[in-house]
Structure 1
Amino acid sequence: MIKIIKVSEEADLQKVFAIRKVVFVEEQNCPPELEWENEDVSIHFLANFNNKPVGACRWRKTDKGYKLERFAVSKAYRGKGIASEMIKTVLQDLPADANYIYLHAQLTAMPLYQKMGFVAEGPQFEEAGIQHFKMVLTN
């Protein structure tokens, strides 16, 4: 069973950080100094699968609009619909005035975001040593 919670407790935030550390820093070799930024201005979410913490993500308001970020699912739990549930939950949590919603998608994650209504915009670019496209929600 998948359950996505909005993080309000420090213990849950530490679970979010632990998942991100494994996925981004250890698996994808993202420099830690690039991974840990804007934490205090972000709204964090933790995904649980059968009561086990397995996914993390966040959103934050930027000068452009609302940015969805740091979607990570533990390797053993990928392909189970967890990321889709996280995206739905985050989108439902955004304020009513969130009319420009975007993210920076790794190339491998683009099909998932496309299924959720995002479209690529602009040129491909590198972020933390990984190729991305900016994607914007269209519906």
Structure 2
Amino acid sequence: MADTEIRLAAWEADLALIRQVREAVFIHEQNVDPDIEWDQEEETAQHFLIVQGKEPLATARITTSGKIGRMAVVKKARGCGLGLQLLTFICNYAREHGFSSVYLHAQSHAEGFYRKAGFRSEGEPFIEADIPHIKMVRLLD
């Protein structure tokens, strides 16, 4: 999409933008319980945003343990490659900050997307937030 910017986000300063994307995708579309959407990792994680002008299109975070999570792209911006751009940006950030690998809990329907981005499945599928997931890991070179 034209005129988009991928950037680091600050939890407090960008909370409204992060919340806008995550509530639309996780709470409204996927019916995730709002009580489990927000957790103790929020303030210590590094958050990321893709914005077009002042409109947030995508967000994600990486925790201090190297877990990528809460990755969401608003419906109207899907299928344009923003998810892969965001994931690449996060992996580059992790590499620059000394991580040798990153991991995530992929929703099962998105496993193919993460495979294309260099992630490999690890372990057995499990349920998280009433949605089937699989742990995936990517080594950073």
TM-score normalised by L of structure 1: 0.90
Shift of 1:49: 3.6
Aligned residue runs from structure 1 range 105-120, under 5 A: 105-120=106-121
User: SS of 1:117's equivalent?
Assistant: coil
Of residues 60, 66, 73, the one that matches 2:63 is: 60
Corresponding residue of 2:49: 46
Corresponding residue of 2:27: 25
User: SS of 1:14's equivalent?
Assistant: helix
Identity value in percent: 35
Rounded Cα–Cα distance in structure 2 between residues aligned with 1:70 and 1:8:
15
User: SS of 1:39's equivalent?
Assistant: coil
TM-score normalised by L of structure 2: 0.89
Stretches of structure 1 that go unaligned for 5 or more consecutive residues are none
Corresponding residue of 2:36: 34
Measured on the aligned residues, the alpha-carbon RMSD in Å equals 1.6
Rounded Cα–Cα distance in structure 2 between residues aligned with 1:75 and 1:12:
20
Corresponding residue of 1:92: 92
Rounded Cα–Cα distance in structure 1 between residues aligned with 2:59 and 2:88:
13
Aligned length in residues: 136
Shift of 1:13: 2.5
Tell whether the 8 Å contact from 2:6 to 2:48 is kept in structure 1 after alignment.
Answer: yes
Corresponding residue of 1:78: 78
